[in-house]
């Protein structure tokens, strides 16, 4: 019988796909859940639910009892209505709570989900696992702190640790790219800057295969892997591909990016004291400014990671799913 695994973040996009796939592959899957009403699909699939929160270590100890491998996917990612402290509580302190509880409950392997965002902007693309840290906003900083904690435990030898850094995750079930699809469909998308910045996507099914390799391959232990698609594309190409998938022609309008960046900064300054989420913020503007392109040779060579979904197909399938759900 395959061992018991715990997936955190299973009520979210990535964790949800991962939990269902592990379940299909015959693992006994337990999901750490804050709100059971968000986990009906997991329950219906026979996945065991356990209540817990990254900020509450006692709940994590209970969730980790008897677990062989943890896939720690949960994080606070969306900036809306979230303070910097909330980010650190989940993405850094929450990671420490998870590791402490995992060591105390004799978990064998801990697969930690980081992000390519720990590198921030890649100065000489493509980067790789050795590209220096350069987080560019407080989400990325909190994830970098979380990764540092994971490395501390990796080096301690108290349990087997694997860290992976995904690129921009997309596919059915995602809602982060929905806004972009919608604005392109409504012909409201404006390109700020040249559109030549590099972006790297990873289709959810490819990523899930990579995560499971991190959780099962002996060679993975003690390593960090970038898991993203094979190709990086320009923002112009991404927008054109989405436009094709939603049956529109991309607009040619391009505006300079720096005024938008400073407007984002001003919005953050004004909105922060009132606890309002800013309509524009620098992190969103960075989408138009920063190159994020990486090699995935290490994961291909050591794990046999093979992301097969081409952007055109993945974007088409994502658009179809948005349409089926009545979102687009």
For the bound state, the minimum distance from the C-beta of residue 220 to ligand NAP, rounded and expressed in Å, comes to 18
Q: Please select the residue that binds ligand NAP; options are 75, 162, 213, 257, rule is CB under 6 A.
A: 75
Taking CB under 6 A as the criterion, the residue among 20, 109, 119, 143 binding ligand NAP is 143
| Residue among 28 and 91 whose Cβ is closer to ligand NAP | 91
Contact region for ligand NAP (CB under 6 A) — 51-59, 125-133, 243-251, 284-292? 51-59
Residue 50 CB, shortest distance to ligand NAP, in Å, is 11
3-state secondary structure the chain: CCCEEEEECCCCHHHHHHHHHHHHCCCEEEEEECCHHHCHHHHHCCCEEEECCCCCHHHHHHHHCCCCEEEECCCCCCCCCCCHHHHHHHHHHHHHHHHHHHHHCCCCEEEEECCHHHHCCCCCCCECCCCCCCCCCHHHHHHHHHHHHHHHHHHHCCCEEEEEEECEEECCCCCCCHHHHHHHHCCCCCEECCCCCEECEEEHHHHHHHHHHHHHCHHHCCCEEEECCCCCEEHHHHHHHHHHHCCCCCCCCEECCHHHHHHHHHHHHHHHHHCCCCCCCHHHHHCCCCCCCECCHHHHHHHCCCCCCCHHHHHHHHHHHHHHCCCC
Nearer to ligand NAP, 13 or 281 (CB): 13
Count of residues interacting with ligand NAP (CB under 6 A): 28
> How many degrees, rounded to 5, is the angle at CA 89 between CA 83 and CA 91?
100
Contact with ligand NAP (CB under 6 A): which of 5, 14, 28, 241? 14
Tell me which of 6, 7, 12, 189 binds ligand NAP, using CB under 6 A.
12
Q: Which of 19, 49, 90, 309 binds ligand NAP (CB under 6 A)?
A: 90
Instruction: Decide the pairing of beta strands 198-199 and 233-234.
Output: antiparallel
Contact call for residue 254 and ligand NAP (CB under 6 A): no
Please, which residue, 67 or 76, has the CB nearer to ligand NAP?
76
Contacts (CB under 6 A) with ligand NAP, residues 147-206: 166, 168-169, 176
Positions 98 through 137 that interact with ligand NAP (CB under 6 A): 113, 115
Stretch of 4-12, 21-29, 126-134, 285-293 contacting ligand NAP, by CB under 6 A: 4-12
Measured from the CB atom, is 166 or 274 closer to ligand NAP?
166
Interface with ligand NAP by CB under 6 A: which residues?
8-9, 11-15, 34-35, 38, 53-55, 73-78, 90, 94, 113, 115, 143, 166, 168-169, 176
């Amino acid at each position: 019988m395959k061992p018991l695994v715990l997936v955190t973040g299973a009520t979210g996009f990535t964790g949800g796909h991962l939990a269902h796939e592990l379940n299909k592959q015959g693992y006994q899957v337990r999901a750490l859940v804050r709100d059971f009403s968000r986990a009906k699909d997991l329950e219906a699939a026979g996945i065991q639910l356990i209540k817990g929160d990254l900020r509450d270590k006692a709940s994590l100890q209970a969730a980790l009892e008897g677990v062989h491998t943890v896939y720690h996917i949960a994080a606070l990612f969306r900036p809306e209505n979230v303070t910097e402290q909330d980010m650190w509580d989940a993405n850094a302190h929450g990671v420490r709570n998870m590791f402490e509880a995992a060591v105390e409950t004799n978990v064998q392997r801990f697969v930690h989900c980081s992000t390519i965002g720990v590198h921030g902007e890649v100065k000489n693309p493509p980067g790789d696992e050795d590209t220096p840290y350069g987080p560019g906003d407080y989400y990325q900083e909190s994830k970098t702190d979380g990764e540092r904690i994971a490395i501390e435990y990796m080096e301690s030898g108290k349990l087997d640790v694997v860290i992976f850094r995904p690129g921009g995750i997309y596919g059915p079930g995602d809602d982060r790219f929905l806004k972009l699809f919608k604005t392109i469909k409504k012909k409201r998308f404006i390109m700020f800057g040249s559109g030549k910045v590099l972006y790297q996507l990873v289709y959810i099914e490819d990523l899930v295969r990579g995560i499971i390799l991190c959780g099962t391959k002996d060679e993975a232990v003690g390593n960090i892997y970038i898991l993203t698609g094979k190709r990086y594309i320009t923002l112009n190409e991404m927008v054109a591909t989405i436009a094709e998938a939603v049956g529109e022609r991309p607009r040619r309008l391009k505006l300079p990016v720096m005024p938008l960046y400073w407007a984002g900064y001003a919005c953050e300054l004004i909105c922060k004291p009132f606890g309002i989420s800013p309509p524009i913020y620098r992190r969103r503007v960075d989408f138009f400014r920063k190159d994020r392109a990486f090699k995935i040779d290490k994961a291909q060579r050591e794990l046999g990671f093979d992301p097969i979904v081409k952007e055109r197909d993945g974007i088409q399938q994502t658009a179809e799913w948005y349409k089926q759900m009545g979102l687009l």
